[in-house]
Structure 1
């Protein structure tokens, strides 16, 4: 099973490398893995903000 924190780390790296489509794929994967997480956690909020760019 994938560790969601590894998925978000990969998404950040891809985003910084300018690979926005790949980053968004990983950000969405993270949200799917954490779909039942507390909405107040910083990671889901960060990912939603990144996807909104």
Structure 2
């Protein structure tokens, strides 16, 4: 898919951007690859699963 710049486009807010990406967020630290937070809103499987 090509990146196109629109002349009359408007900037989306945080809620609208999140809905485009599917509502998931990256929960790992890019350097250590460890989970910063846990929950079903995370993209990574290891961060979605909470060990009890």
- Same-fold call, TM cutoff 0.5: no
Query: Which structure carries more relative contact order (alpha carbon 8 Å, separation 6+)?
Result: 1
Higher helix residue share:
1
TM-score, length basis structure 2? 0.26
Highest Rg: 1 or 2? 2
TM-score, length basis structure 1? 0.25
